[in-house]
Amino acid sequence: MTRTVRVLAAAALTLLASSGCANTSPATVPNSASQVLAAKVAARSAKADPRETIFVSIADAGTVEEFDASGPLIGTISGLSSPTSLATDARGRLFVATGSGVVVFAKPYERPAYVIGSGMVTTVAVSFADGLLALGSPSSIALYRKDATEPCAAFAAPSGRLDFAGFDASGTLMLDGVDARGKTVVAEIAGGCSARGVTMLLAANGIGFPGGIGVDANNRPAVLDQRTATIDTYARTTAGALGAVVARTKLTEASDPVTFAFAPNGAALFAVDAGLGTVSEVAYPGGALVRRFAVAGLPLGVAVTPQLRP
- Just give the CATH number of 3-305: 2.120.10.30
Q: What is the pLDDT of residue 204?
A: 65
Q: Do 37 and 57 meet the contact criterion of CB atoms below 8 Å apart?
A: no
Buried b (16+ CB within 10 A) or exposed e, 154-166: ebebbbbbbbbbb
For residue 167, which of 99, 40, 262, 239 has the smallest C-alpha distance? 262
**Reported pTM:** 0.85
> Who's near 43: CB < 8 A, 6+ residues apart?
1, 2, 3, 4
**How crowded is residue 59: how many other Cβ atoms within 10 Å of its Cβ?**
20
**How crowded is residue 199: how many other Cβ atoms within 10 Å of its Cβ?**
16
- Strand ranges in 152-197 using DSSP code E only, listed in sequence order: 153-156, 161-167, 173-178, 184-189
| Residues 86, 302: Cα–Cα separation, whole Å | 6
DSSP string covering 89-149, please? -TT--EEEEEBTEEEEE-TT-SSEEEEE-SS---EEEE-TTT--EEEEETTEEEEE-TT-S
Adjacency order of strands within the sheet including 123-126: 123-126, 133-137, 140-144, 153-156
Q: What is the pLDDT of residue 133?
A: 97
Q: Do 6 and 110 meet the contact criterion of CB atoms below 8 Å apart?
A: no
Q: What is the pLDDT of residue 169?
A: 94
310 residues of the chain, pLDDT tens digit each? 334 654 443 333 333 333 333 333 333 333 323 322 333 222 223 333 446 999 999 999 999 999 988 778 999 999 999 999 999 999 999 999 999 999 999 999 989 999 998 789 999 999 998 999 999 999 999 999 999 878 999 999 876 899 999 999 999 999 999 988 888 999 999 999 999 999 999 876 789 999 999 999 999 999 999 999 999 999 987 777 888 999 999 999 999 999 999 999 999 999 999 999 999 999 999 999 999 999 999 999 999 999 999 8
DSSP 4: E
